[in-house]
Structure 1
Amino acid sequence: MDKSWMHADRRSRKFQLGLAEFLKFASANASNERKIRCPCLKCCNTDGFSIGVIKDHIFWNGIDESYKNWRWHGAPSTSYMNSRMQGESETVNWEPASGVGKNDVDIGGSEDEEISEDSNEFLKYVEDGDKPLYPGCTKTTKLNGLIQTFNLKAKHGMTDACYSDMLIMNGGLLPEANEVPASLYEAEKTLSQLGMEYEKIHACPNDCILYRQQHVDAIICPTCGVSRWKLGKAKTEKEGILAKVLWYFPLIPRLKRLYQSANTSKNLTWHDHGRKKDGMMRHPADSLTWDLIDKTWPEFGNEPRNLRLALSSDGFNPHSSLSSRYSCWPVILVTYNLPSWLCMKRKYMMLTLLISGPKQPGNDIDVYLQPLIDDLKLL
């Protein structure tokens, strides 16, 4: 007990010194001392207050551990931040009443730290993507140019080899030191850091099960007995060629991306602090259903950053042929937290599942919703 108390006291002093250093630095670099961004876990550098208010916020809410480079407070470089923040990562969430033991010194494997590393990697690629496409270019950036070429690839069904050749050709036509990726691999690597990865989940052609979890290694569906692999003309199995595939676009990384934007994270609480509350129906937050959820689960309703998601799904024919009955089903999530003029915008609609055809899933759609439901339960 004595050692634990001494350890906690030492961490407390280090935290206080680090906090004093930060407040002094933020005050010295502030253009308006009444509007300094607050790095507490509630504000996350989106709202501005005086030094005294920020100190109280950090005491009560804790500090954002992922904020290691004081870029919102005038830090000139990452190296400066590293020299100032030695030891603070172990102390920012210290609570006097919680009790600190010997094993609390190293929190290197914590979940928060994993999120922090992911966020830093994401920001690195965003900063890299904001570079001009070539020196002196003012019309577009590396990231915008990359997205435009990927859209072209999808629109015209361009093969991977053709796309790679197009990148090489574009790189040769543009001035030297341009930022065009040299290959499809480099282009996909950049986009994957933006949270655009996906999972291919094998499915039973009769919509019985997904080959995941306890069925991940199964070859035959335990419900209907149909093979996992596609059958040829002679009813022979084509091993390695799947009979049916579900495309899943993981939800959690995309929600994290929403909160990495200061403007978007502020808009995600608009339903609570920006909406006119006069009894008129202007937004889903004005509905009886929204109010019922708040009353049934008050702990959820009292936190405006909790997300309210709407799920929508319908079939469409991807082959642009009226003679084909092929039906492909996307599952889309809409974030109702956003203002009414934003929540139905295409950029905020998240495609989470793509259920391949040739027939609609019908009542078996719950089978395909399993990975999405698992992520929602985790959240």
Structure 2
Amino acid sequence: MGYRFTVADVAFLGSAEGVAALAEIDRLELTSASYLADVATARKQAGDRAAMLLETVLLRRKAVSKLDDSTRWLFTDEALQQATPSRVAEHRARRFTGRVVHDVTCSIGTELVHLRETADQAIGSDLDEVRIAMARHNTGASVVRADALKPVTKHAAVLADPARRDSSGRRKWRPADFAPPLDELAEVYRGRDMAVKCAPGIDPPDVPWAREIELVSLDGQVRESCLWTGDLATVGRRATVLKSDVDGWTITDAEPDDCPVTAPAEWIIDPDGAVVRAGLVRHYAARHGLAQLDPRIAYLTGMRPPPGIRAFRVIEHGRYSEKSLKQVLGRHEIGRLEILVRGLDVDPNALRPRLRPRGPREGTVVLTRIGHTPTALLCQAERIPG
């Protein structure tokens, strides 16, 4: 657990004196090698305020890869862990363009700051006084103290980000275990347009009130589901694939899903996890002229991979057994080996040492099931220009 900030701490950190004190602490390296000496220096410079200054500087440095302009933000450690990455928050905020919106669990304001850029009016609320003070500092928005389950607005669209961990830090998946519970949120705001940020593993039958379920990935990692209601929902299922450095894209169940099932072609394509979790593999295949290897497996194949992805050029394929795969690897002098698995009960970490790959070349083995046949495909991974 990190430093426990108070409202008075937030007031100091936002003052001219606090800004100057943070600048002094930020000059320290605060590496593992220098940390003890730096802490001693901070205590000499700031006395009793050293702990909160050190914590703030360290959290700002930690936030750089997650949030835009984090050098001016105030955080608690837990709030930063739970914060929505800026790229994801920007994407969501665009769907509230021109609306009046109320972020009913605004925390330190990582969603609210982007809502202010797109919405006609954006307000926030939370129960934690420290986070409220930090949100006001971070966003400049109107933030009030209110229980998310006791509405203080009447007609605004609603954004909610229920807590998804218990006190032990374990993730929760059941709708009733969120705080506030998902079904209670849906009931309280029935008839209102709403978006609820949720765990990516949520089971659609558990949230029948959600008109649209959007799976969102960032830089290849599935980050969340977003449950949309009312006029904010436009399709049943959506996958959104975001990148930190390039434009993202989206695909929905409103698109065609006609795609063939064929033998392996020149390339194997492993769709982004958001596409797979959203159940839109066939739609993705149809968009890019690809085929499925098996109708129950997410691997796709084709003569031309989509742009901007990492795809796998097929070198050789056949029925999978450890003995035959070992022979294939030896024949192609594969020493550095990546193993991808879908549809087979194979642990790549246990398999790799048994294969004893040796040689100067690098390869990727895709292990899957085609019909009833366990199949191994030796491939060369390539980054396709986007």
TM range (shorter): under 0.3
After TM superposition, the score normalised by the length of structure 1 is 0.24
Greater strand share, structure number: 2
After TM superposition, the score normalised by the length of structure 2 is 0.24
- Give the structure, 1 or 2, with the largest relative contact order (CA under 8 Å, sep 6 or more): 1
Greater helix share, structure number: 1
